[in-house]
Amino acid sequence: MINVIIVEDEPAIARGLSLLITQNYCDFQVLALCRNGKDGLQKILELKPDLIFTDISMPGMNGLDMIQELRSRQMDTRCVILTGYAEFKYAQTAITLGVSDYLLKPIAPNTLDNILTTCRTQHQSTLRSLRSEYLQKILLDDTQPEDGYLPLLSCSCTLLFFFSGPMRSNLYTETIISPDFLPVEKQAIEKLEEKHKISLFLLHGRHHNEKVAAITAPVSQPLDIDLISQEICQLIRPLDACFHLVISNTVTDCQKLQELTRSAYLYALFKVPFGIDSIQKCQALTDEPIHVSAKIKQLCGGLSDRPSQEHLKDLIHSMIKFWQKEQVTQFQLLTDMRYFISSMIHDHLKEKIIYPDPAELISTAPSWADLEKELLFEAKQIYGIKDSSDFPENQHSLVYQVKNWLDKNFTTQITYKIFQDLFGHNEKYLSTLFKAEFGISPSKYIGELRLNMAKNLMESNPDILLKDVAEMVGFTDAFYFSRVFKAHEGISPSAFMKNQNPKEIS
């Protein structure tokens, strides 16, 4: 609903304009009729309308003074001047105050219609932007905006969380892992909105391989969320990766969106499976703890402190087959893999190895076959089992070539495909060699180079924009840069910059 206040000292004109609006435009409502600028100012500050009609010449405070006072209070509410021909020169002056239009007396319905139609279009555009920003802030910061503005009042909201491939840690993975979602045309979104009478917002999630769709509609409007979800899936579903959709519950109170978001992410963390597609609706989680699978304990129980390569290969293959059959969740897989890795690390090995990160192995494995290869390679590294197929004679030179190239090009967009094109080996192979040599994966190494450069830029350029920092160091998305920075440094980029400029802190 678009809210209107009319400030006019002639009651007949004020009532006539009010009737023209309320009887012919169902999405406009007149909140108040005021007789002078002083009363109008008070009502406007109290009710915060979307549109103001005001006369110029009124007793006490005139319309222009009222508008000037509103502007001095940083209120940019759309204002329309009501004027007769004798006051036309004043109406022209009002343009300098940001008055959007003027309406000559006596009021012509066609002119009023043009003004209200333009107002409606601009209001809808502004409201859409405010709602998108509001939803994005809640998703990324998990907080309500500080100004207390709630642009989704009287709206229902359902969130759809889409993941391409495994749920990846939001730390570093943007550097070489490209998201697989299809681009969505604006016309396709508008078509869905018109068909279902909804507003649809495509937003950034907390993971690089994640999209969030927010479906909003008037509270009283029934929605077929299942059907809408299917149609959105068809728009953005990745072509060559496992696909997961978690559908949140629906809220009718926008102040519950943080709780809705937290519940959905927690559900996804515990319930999204690895290696297969899934579509799930959020349900209440039990307090039952996640235990290591009994089968994995049994298989790992046969590990000696110096197993053969064949034994390791058979063991890992058996684990993979078990996990596939059980369709384990990613969280269960992570729990089992941690147990497997700890089972391999005997006392005489603890000081000699680089501990593999199960979460990173899962994040970079698009399939069970890839995960099996990675686990076998890491196991052979732990036990010191050499295989000529793993390490060619020129491995030392090769891995330093990779490092030197990354040192020079880390601010560019780096994807896995580049490794094959430049060095003649796939990213998995090079990543393993790199980690064995330097104790860090290429992805994390790139991330640290970018974050160190970002800190240097912010320290030496106190007025630099965060979006410029993100772009200069190689991040494609300022939102994602902020999340990575905060996860790594413990504070947001904006807080980091304030710490470098304590005089600016109020």
pLDDT band at 282; cut points 50, 70, 90 = very high
pLDDT band at 238; cut points 50, 70, 90 = confident
Q: Is the dihedral of CA 20, 25, 26, 28 positive or negative?
A: negative
Q: What is the CATH number of domain 393-506?
A: 1.10.10.60
319: amino acid identity, one letter: M
pLDDT for 505 equals 41
Mark out the alpha helices in 73-152 (DSSP H runs): 88-94, 109-141
Which pLDDT tens digit goes with each residue over 295-344?
Answer: 999 999 988 888 999 999 999 999 999 999 999 999 999 999 999 999 98
Taking residues 58-62, report their average pLDDT: 91
CA distance 210 to 162: 5
Torsion region of 362: left, alpha or beta (phi above 0 gives left; psi -120 to 50 gives alpha):
alpha
pLDDT for 24 equals 95
CA distance 349 to 351: 6
pLDDT above 60 (res 177): no
pTM here is 0.79
Q: Which two tokens stand for residue 140?
A: 């990324």
376, 312 in Cβ contact below 8 A?
yes
Which of 129-138, 223-232, 466-475, 494-503: highest mean pLDDT?
Answer: 223-232
Nearest to 281 by CA among 328, 226, 326: 226
Count CB-CB contacts under 10 A for residue 159: 28
Whether domain 2-107 has CATH 3.40.190.10: the reply is no
In the block, which residue shows the tokens 């003649």? 424
Taking residues 377-401, report their average pLDDT: 76
pLDDT for 494 equals 87
Torsions phi, psi for 73 (to 5 deg):
-95, 15
The bridge status of strand 155-164 relative to strand 243-251 is antiparallel
Q: What is the CATH number of domain 150-281?
A: 3.30.70
491: amino acid identity, one letter: I
pLDDT above 60 (res 175): no
Nearest to 257 by CA among 118, 142, 149, 417: 142
Q: Is the dihedral of CA 60, 64, 70, 76 positive or negative?
A: positive
pLDDT above 90 (res 273): yes
- pLDDT mean across residues, the chain: 87
Which pLDDT tens digit goes with each residue over 200-215?
Answer: 999 988 887 889 999 9
Domain coordinates of the chain in residue numbers? 2-107, 150-281, 289-390, 393-506
465: amino acid identity, one letter: L
